[in-house]
Amino acid sequence: MGREIERKFLVKSEDWRARAGSVRRFEQFYLFASDDRSCRVRITDGASARLTLKTGRGVSRGEFEYDIPLEDAENLRASAVGTVIDKTRHHVASGPHTIEIDVYHGSLDGLVVAEIELGSEDEAFERPDFFGAEVTGDADYLNQSLALRGRPQR
């Protein structure tokens, strides 16, 4: 079983931009989503697509990803629940880790979230100054919640 171990933080400043490397644009939507499972389709840079199944809650979750034809992804968009998320992802090197900074657009404009993937739940990492409040485990900041309920009010 694939596992994803990540921690998530709000971003409180633009200090990361000078260190940003590669950039990708994502359009993503959900075919179903509940508290402990979801099925997402993500179109990357308008050129490729992946289907992702996630299970569980918290820091460590099951994650299964599969490439699908772009045309299939575009056809599945009509079956999306909630709104389609539009975001730009920037990669920032931080020691042995890569931090992914998601800058949201459209109805989520102004929301900026950082994620860091870890090898284990207790792995130590350097916390950059631009990290704000930790929102790991806060269901309001899951992408599926953003698609279904919109931007958190806090």
Nearest to 88 by CA among 135, 42, 23, 35: 23
Cβ pair 8, 136 in contact under 8 A = yes
The structure tokens 């596992």 sit at 3
Q: Which of 30, 66, 104, 141 is catalytic?
A: 30
Catalytic residue status for 30: yes
Alpha helices in 48-123, H assignment, sequence order: 70-76
Nearest to 12 by CA among 117, 113, 136: 113
Active-site residue set: 30
